[in-house]
Amino acid sequence: MALQRTFSILKPDVTRRNLTGAVNAKIEAAGLRIVAQKRVHMSLAEAETFYGVHRARPFFGELTQMMSAAPVVVQVLEGDNAIARYRDVMGATNPANAVPGTIRKEFALSMGENSVHGSDAPETAAVEIAQFFAGNEIVG
Ligand code: ATP
Ligand code: MG
């Protein structure tokens, strides 16, 4: 598998509890390289753009409020098969169903406050990376 990039967010429940380093340690231990990273406080409009695919879902308001209520850390991760690899390290959306050792099993508080986001396909990864990073901010 060729080198691939994925987009990651360490959500407000991670920054609030000072777990940025602990989550990054799991990311790096999984063989993913953090090739871009910054802390941002999203506006509600930015969160609504980011999660636009979920606009019709009942949790959209709660999700976008939560994502814009406090700082997050946005990242680009690089590695072999990075998109699937990161989804494996993240664990299931609902932490109750996440496999032991995954980020969500270890750190997530609930289905909503589930610690991390990771892109689900190459097309979404490209769009999500471009929302937050200029090309020269990504250093592989
Ligand atoms: P993400 O897109 O954040 O990486 P995911 O792909 O595992 O997570 P999605 O189905 O895309 O899950 O949902 C996006 C996010 O919306 C979830 O990570 C979670 O924070 C929130 N969410 C999903 N389902 C619910 C729900 N039933 N109640 C509250 N929040 C939810
Ligand atoms: Mg998703």
List active site positions. Answer: 117
Three-state SS for 65? Answer: helix
Kindly give, in sequence order, each residue whose CB lies less than 8 Å from that of residue 92, ignoring residues fewer than 6 positions away: 98, 99, 102, 104
Determine phi and psi for 36, rounding to 5 degrees.
-160, 145
| Closest listed residue to residue 44, CA positions, set 11, 70, 7 | 70
Would the pLDDT of 139 be above 80? Answer: yes
Model confidence, pTM: 0.97
* Residue 101 pLDDT: 97
Tell whether ligand 1 has an atom less than 6 A from the beta carbon of residue 59: yes
CA of 75 to the centre of ligand 2 (A): 15
Mean of pLDDT values over 8-21? 98
Mean of pLDDT values over 28-55? 98
pLDDT band (50, 70, 90) for residue 128: very high
Which residue CA neighbors atom 19 of ligand 1 most closely?
A: 112
DSSP state, 69?
S
**Atom of ligand 1 lying closest to residue 66 CA:** 20
Q: Distance of CA 69 to CAs 21, 64, 98, Å?
A: 21, 8, 25
Q: Which two tokens stand for residue 32?
A: 């993913």
Q: 86, 102 in Cβ contact below 8 A?
A: no
Would the pLDDT of 1 be above 90? Answer: no
Amino acid sitting at position 51: Y
CA of 32 to the centre of ligand 1 (A): 22
Tell whether ligand 1 has an atom less than 6 A from the beta carbon of residue 114: yes
Neighbour tally for 21: CB within 10 Å: 8
* Residue 2 pLDDT: 85
Q: Which of 86, 114, 120, 129 to mutate to test the pocket of ligand 1 (most atoms within 8 A of CB)?
A: 114
Dump pLDDT digits (tens) for 46-91: 999 999 999 999 999 999 999 999 999 999 999 999 999 999 999 9
Mean confidence (pLDDT) of the chain: 98
Would the pLDDT of 112 be above 80? Answer: yes
* Residue 125 pLDDT: 98
